[in-house]
Structure formats: C-alpha cells, structure tokens
A and B are shown apart, each in its own frame.
Chain A
C-alpha cells in the first residue's frame, strides 16, 4: 500500500500537473516553508466563484511538490468558498503517508498558500493547529 503511494508521489513530484503560472490570474500568492525553504507560487482563474484553472510553480521536496500537484488537480471545479473551507487533512490524505511533525509542513504548503492568500495568516495558523 505504502509502495503505491510512494509511486504516486514520485510521479506527481516529477511530473507536476498544472505546472506553470497562469497569466492574468484572479488569485496569485506565494508562500514558503520556513523550516526548509520550500516555495510554492499558486495562481488560479476563477469564474462565477468556480475555480476554472490552476497553475503553480515552486521548488522543494518531493512531498511538497507532489502535494501541490495533487491539490491543484483537486481545486479545479471547486468553488473558491469550498476550497477555502478545506481542512489540512485533505492534503495529508493525498500524500497518504504517516508524516512526522516537520514533514507535515511540506505537505500542507499548497493549502497554506491558498489560505494565507485568501483568508490571511491567522486563519492558516488556526487550521495548522487544528483549532
């Protein structure tokens, strides 16, 4: 089972879906993981509140890049409201591995970028703390 996840993570990390920033995006925000320097730049096109297109780039470990790729796929078709209500468990489930405390921050970087870019840092702190 874990092997299957590993394969999937490596695939996403090497071949990031929706890679590349969008021109004239409705949402454009970049965040970092201060622990290891991972970077994620996320752009979205939103029409009638629905996320039509996702584009991102960044650098970092396999977990953070794979997480961004999988998260990006998920976002397409969601309303922005729905996206902003996502829990960190969603991205952790994408990765599917039992992550340690420092690696959780790698996996959650895409969600963090979306939340801080829309709702602000305090909201992200609350989500990260599970409160």
Chain B
C-alpha cells in the first residue's frame, strides 16, 4: 500500500463517503462488541461511520485511515469528544495503547502482507480483546475492477426504482469513475475459501460468522480464569508486603518489576530482621566460645542446618555442609572426591545445558588428572536425550553423573530421579545441581536418591554467601577435607593433623554465621507458604508468561513447554540484541537478565550469542507478566523499523 493509494482515496473521497453512508450497517459490529468497553480501534475508518457507531459504546475510539481527505470529512461531520482520527498507514501502525476491540471493514484487501498486520493487531489487543474483520469477497479471487464493473451494471438497473434516479446515477458514476477504477487497479478480492484459509492461518481458533467476516478473541486463558476465580494457591499481595524492596520505585513514578529471580531472589523482611538481630544482639564466633553470645550464635547456626536438612528431607544434619553457594559446593566435590577417587580415563558425565559452575571444575580436573568430561546432548525442545545418556553410560567408565536439576536458561526440569537410578545401575555416583530447583519446588534427596545436591541460599529468599552441599554420608566420610584451617580439625600437631567429624571437616574457618541464620529463616518462610504451593503458583505464572510472550511477534522462546520447565522464560527478539532488550525494559522498571547466563556452551548449541531471561518467584504477579509483554512491544517499536 503506497502514497498512490492514499491519493486515489483522496480523489474519490466524497463519493466514497456517500456510498458508505448508503450501505453501511454497523449492526453486525454492535452485536459483537468486546466484553470490556474502554478502547476501540477501526483500521481503515474512512469517513468514520463505524467509528461513530462504536463511540457510543466505548470510552474512546480511534480511527485510522490512509486518506487525509476521508478523515477531513469524518472530522467535519460532527465533533465527538471520545473519537480520535489519525492519518496512518495500517501497514505501519504505531500506537501505544492496547485495545479491547479492533475492527476493520472492507480495508484489508488493500494490504499486501495481511499476516504481518494481523500479528501486529493481535499484539495491540488486551487479553480478552476482540478482533473483527469484514472484507469484500467474490466467488473466485478476482481483480476488484471487474467486480465493480459487473456489479455496477447489475446494480444500476434493478435498483433504480428503489434508490431513485439521482442515487443510482451516483452509484454508477462512483463505481465506474476513472478515479475509482484506478484505485481498484491493484486490488484483488478473495474467494470465500481463500479468505478463510488466509485468516485461519494467522488467527488460530478464529470464528467465521459468515463468508466475509472473521472474529478472533485474544485467548482468555485458563490462567486468566483461575485469576478471576481467585484460586491462586496463596495470596501474592500478602507475600509482596513482606519484601521491602518491591515497594520501591525503580525510576521516579515507575514501580519495580523484578524478573531476575533466577540470578538472585529478593529477601523478605523476616530474613533481613534475623540477620540484623544477630549482629545487633548476639554476634560471636561459633563452636568455640563458652560465653553466652557464642552459645547463642552456635545454637542458631546449628539450628539452621537442621532446618535446611528437613527442607530437603536429608537423613542427617551432618550431611549438610555449609558452603558459599552452589559453585563452591560443586568445586568441593571436584577438589576432594574428584582428586581422591578419579583417575586418568575416568569419565565425568555432565550435560549440554549446564551452568559454567558444573562444567569448569571438571575441566580443571581433566587437565590435572586426565579424566574425560562428556556431555549428554539435548533435544531441539530443550530436554535431555536420555537414550544418549544410557548409551554413554553403557560404553564409558563413568564415575560421576553431574546434572542440573532445572536449567537456568531453558528451564528444563531434568528427570534426575530416573537418571540417578540409571547412574547407580552403572556404578556411578550422581551430583544434582539444585540451584534452580530447591528454591522453587519440593526437593527430597531421599526420594531422588542422589549422592550430592548443591544449592544456594540467595536464590531462595535467603542471603548471599551461603549455600549447601548435601552428600551421601559414606561418600562424605571417605572424602578428604576441602580447605585446611580452624574448625575442620580434630587435632593439629606440627607433624600432622586429624580431621573433625562431619560436617565440620568441610567447614574450615569462621563460617558465614549471619548468612546461615538468614538461610534458616528463609527456609522457614518458604515452608510456611508450602513448596507444593510455590511450585503450583510458579507453573501457572510461567505458563501465562510463555503464552503472553508467544504473542509478541518476532520473539523466539527457548526451552520446553510450561509443564516441563521451571519459572524461567528465555527469549530473543528479532533485530534487537538481548542487552538492548534488557536496557529498554529497565527503563520501564522491568529487571531481566541478558547475556549467556553462565551457560555459553548451551548458547552455542542454541546458535545465539545471548538471550534475555525473565524469571519468576513467589512475589511476581500476572500483572507484571502483562507489563513485560507490553513493554516488549515498545522495545520492538524502538528497534524494528
């Protein structure tokens, strides 16, 4: 559609307006209004007949048209306060608003790329918003000029009596005028079949009430229904109130939408208070002092260990080693168990979707000891190739399988229980990286039957600088210490030393006492909500997010469908680098992560240098997901011309 089309419209504007007034019947549209009645849009509004009819049903109606002359007529007719006319080419729509209803009558046959326009219109709709398109069709796809010529002749004579001679003459003149035929020169009317095919391919679940009309409604998801029915597993607003940081404005007047939880979650006031209470009232070193403060600190520190033990259903608190986090937990296993028990040629089997922290320690060990690190490949949908897993185990001396429970990029939740069983059948141990699973779902180490589980406090509402290595007790007993120093010894002489018992053997030096206490309170906090409910809620919000993001044209999502994944949505946006996406989202108050998320090998496999990642936690709302989807449309406007 070009300027020439606009000129052609301009040249027939008066005739067109007359024709439209004669034949326009808004009843169909008025019978099919959207549920919400705030904002409506008419694409190709011409001289505004339909816009005017809609204006008495909607708070505001916008009409766009390519012809300034037609809009001048529309404006001249009557001033209605809640109508805005904009001269705009439908193929280059730039509107910030979201609409409850978008209509278009006898316009889309002018459009070369209907598919792109429909994608754009879909993105302009609010949830539950409605799109109604009526267009001219003919029996077979036919050049418009012929349809008009034939129609004009057919219409002129039977209708003279009814319309009156002057009207019939104007109809005829209009239909066969030089300008009008010029205008129609490039138009083709679709047949009923091709009309259906075209619109059905771009509007899944569309409804065709007659042969030239299509109605499509933005999905009211099951999730939406759940929200309105208030069947969410817990009261999110109540949880949000516990997180002081969420109350602040990100920029002036712009609230914070924190969607970077896979990197690190925010902390509830209970955790913050527990830490400051420790420093204010009973700070002292643990395990040594006989005084009251040290006793209190020791008790709180050890009590946290037991809380976390119960949280993952570990058999014994001695199997819970406090580390600095997941990374240190995995390194601990590599440096102690790995150094002692792995020999040249032994295989450590990881996956292609690992975080660097579960790749690099093994590569270092490979250099040092000559072990071989292999990786289980992933399917195109982002799930692990379990057949390949079995094959690698069958044909290699695998001593350790080390696998992420839930991918920090794809979100894939791996079947670690099944994998543990297979690993054990092959005489291998299994280490599970629980950094992205323990904060989000019930994890039971006895049920999984894993030999190691590593996870971090800061991703589960607890403080930074502390995490856990859970280990099989016999394996932990067999391992040499990690670091030497205080607390980890039983007795030190200048000739040699003996090691303390579990878990202290692995906790050299003064530990992160405040952080351990904070983690214990975080575990209390999550348990009070219930990990089942947290998982249920996050599944709902993730499914909703994937659905909303899928509607953003030019957006590619990575990873499996919602049921198979954690609360993570990684994506790329056509023509915009992930860093730029994150930057623009930040200006709308939305915090997401962009980059390779410490999983460069996975990004190589996905053939992208970087992805943007929105990740959710207990305090994120469905409204925040809407804000993300809406802001992404604005990002697109910035980068896609």
Give residues in A with beta carbon < 8 Å to B: 32, 34-37, 39, 100-103, 121-122, 124-125, 129, 131
With both beta carbons as reference points, the residue of chain B lying nearest to A99 in the complex is identified as: B295
Q: Interface stretch among B89-97, B170-178, B499-507?
A: B499-507
Question: Which residues of chain B are within 8 angstroms of A124 by Cβ–Cβ distance?
Answer: 501
In the bound complex, CA of A36 to CA of B487 (Å): 10
Complex alpha-carbon distance, A35 and B504, angstroms: 10
Chain B interface mostly: mixed
CB-based contact B490/A102 at 8 Å: no
Interface contact A125-B502, CB-CB below 8 Å: yes
Interchain CB contact (< 8 A) of A34 among B298, B318, B489: B489
Is B295 a contact partner of A131 (Cβ separation < 8 A)? Answer: no
| B501 near A35: Cβ-Cβ < 8 Å | no
User: Contact at A129–B317, with CB atoms within 8 Å?
Assistant: yes
Q: Say yes or no for B161: interface residue by CB 8 A criterion.
A: no
- Cβ contacts under 8 Å, B502 to chain A: 125
Contact in complex: A129, B491 (CB < 8 Å)? no
Whether the Cβ atoms of A122 and B490 lie closer than 8 Å is no
Cα–Cα distance between A100 and B298 once the two chains are bound (Å): 10
With A102-B298, A131-B316 as contacts: A121 and B501 at CB distance below 8 Å = yes
Chain A residues within 8 Å of B298, by CB: 101-102
Q: B295, B491, B498: which contacts A101 (Cβ < 8 A)? A: B295
List B491-518 residues whose CB lies under 8 Å from chain A: 491, 498, 500-502, 504
CB-based contact A102/B477 at 8 Å: no
Number of B positions contacting A (CB below 8 A) = 24
Q: Can you list 18 A-B pairs, Cβ within 8 angstroms, ordered by A? A: A32-B491, A34-B487, A34-B489, A35-B288, A36-B290, A100-B299, A101-B295, A101-B298, A101-B299, A102-B290, A102-B294, A102-B298, A103-B290, A121-B501, A122-B477, A124-B501, A125-B502, A129-B316
B251-294 vs A, Cβ < 8 Å mask (1 yes, 0 no): 00000000000000000000000000000000000011110101
Contacts of B302 in A (CB 8 A): 101
Inter-chain contact B288/A125, CB cutoff 8 Å: no
**Residue pair A34, B317 in contact (C-beta under 8 Å):** no
- On chain A, the residues within 8 Å of B295 by CB distance are 100-102
Closest residue of chain B to A105, judged by CB? B287
A129 & B318 in contact (Cβ 8 Å cutoff): yes
> Taking the nearest CB of chain A, how far is it from the CB of B483, in angstroms?
15
Contacts of A100 in B (CB 8 A): 290, 292, 295, 299
The answer to whether B316 touches A32, judged by C-beta atoms less than 8 angstroms apart, is: no
Give Cα A37–Cα B287 distance, bound, in whole angstroms.
12
Determine the distance from Cα of A32 to Cα of B290 in the docked complex, in whole angstroms. Answer: 17
Question: A102 near B288 (CB under 8 angstroms)?
Answer: yes
Which single member of A32, A102, A131 contacts B287 (CB below 8 Å)? Answer: A102
Name the A residues within 8 Å of B473 (CB-CB).
122
Contact of A102 with B316 at beta-carbon distance under 8 Å, contacts A32-B491, A122-B477, A125-B501 already known:
no
Minimal Cβ-Cβ distance residue in B for A39: B491
CA distance A102 to B302 in the complex (A): 11
A91 to B323, CA, bound (A): 34
CB distance from B607 to the nearest CB of A (A): 51
Given A101-B302, A102-B295, A122-B477, are A34 and B290 neighbors across the interface (CB < 8 Å)? no
Question: Which of A34, A124, A129 has its CB near the most chain B CB atoms (within 10 A)?
Answer: A34
Candidate in B292, B302, B489, B501 with the most chain A CB atoms within 10 angstroms = B501
Known A102-B287, A125-B501; contact A32-B490, beta-carbon cutoff 8 A: yes
Interchain CB contact under 8 A, B289 and A102 = yes
Chain B, 464-477, contact with A by CB distance < 8 Å: what is the 0/1 string?
A: 00000000010001
B496 to chain A, nearest CB (A): 14
B294-336, CB < 8 A from A: 294-295, 298-299, 302, 316-318
Nearest A residue (CB) for B487: A34
User: What's the least CB distance linking A4 to chain B, in Å?
Assistant: 22
- Complex contacts, A35 vs chain B, CB 8 Å: 287-288
Chain B minimum-CB-distance residue to A100: B295
User: Which 10 pairs across A and B sit closest by C-beta, in order of nearness?
Assistant: A100-B295, A32-B491, A34-B500, A34-B490, A35-B287, A101-B299, A101-B298, A32-B490, A102-B298, A102-B295
Known: A102-B294, A122-B477. 19 other contacts (CB 8 A): A32-B490, A32-B491, A34-B489, A34-B500, A34-B504, A37-B491, A39-B491, A100-B292, A100-B295, A100-B299, A102-B287, A102-B289, A102-B290, A103-B290, A124-B501, A129-B316, A129-B317, A129-B318, A131-B316
Q: Which residues of B contact A129 (CB under 8 A)?
A: 316-318
A39 to B317, CA, bound (A): 26
- What CA separation (Å) do A129 and B317 show in the bound complex? 9
Which residues does chain B contribute within 8 Å of A103, judged by CB atoms?
290
A-chain residues with CB within 8 Å of residue B292 when the two chains form the complex:
100
Complex CA–CA separation, A102 to B289 (angstroms): 8
In chain B, what residue has the closest Cβ to A116?
B501
Contacts of B294 on A, CB cut-off 8 Å?
102
Per-residue CB contact flags for chain B residues 61-87 toward chain A (1 = under 8 Å, else 0) read 000000000000000000000000000
B288, B317, B491, B504: residue with the most chain A Cβ atoms closer than 10 Å: B491
Chain B neighbourhood of A101, CB < 8 A: 295, 298-299, 302
Mask for B446-488, Cβ within 8 A of A = 1, else 0?
Answer: 0000000000000000000000000001000100000000010
- Chain B residues whose C-beta falls within 8 Å of the C-beta of A102 in the assembled complex: 287-290, 294-295, 298
Chain A residues with CB below 8 A from B490, complex form: 32, 34
Q: How many angstroms from the CA of A37 to the CA of B295 in the assembled complex?
A: 17
When C-beta atoms are compared, the residue in chain A nearest to B505 turns out to be: A34
Bound complex: CA A122 to CA B287 (Å): 20
Specify the chain B residue showing the minimal Cβ separation from A124: B501
Assess whether A125 is in contact with B318, with CB atoms less than 8 Å apart.
yes
Q: How far is the CB of A66 from chain B (nearest CB, A)?
A: 15
On chain B, the residues within 8 Å of A122 by CB distance are 473, 477
Give, as a whole number of angstroms, the nearest-CB distance from B302 to chain A: 7
Residues of chain B within 8 A of A37, CB atoms compared: 491
Q: Which residues of B contact A125 (CB under 8 A)?
A: 318, 501-502
Closest-CB distance, A103 to chain B (whole angstroms): 7
Q: Which single residue of chain B is at the shortest CB-CB distance from A121? A: B501
* In the complex, residue of chain A having the shortest beta-carbon distance to the beta carbon of B287: A35
CA distance A131 to B318 in the complex (A): 12
Report the bound CA distance from A131 to B314 in whole Å.
Answer: 14
CA gap between A100 and B297 in the complex, in Å: 12
Q: How far is the CA of A74 from the CA of B55 in the complex (A)?
A: 98
Output the least CB separation between A13 and chain B (Å).
Answer: 15
Q: How far is the CB of A62 from chain B (nearest CB, A)?
A: 11
Report Cα–Cα, A74/B290, bound state, in Å.
27
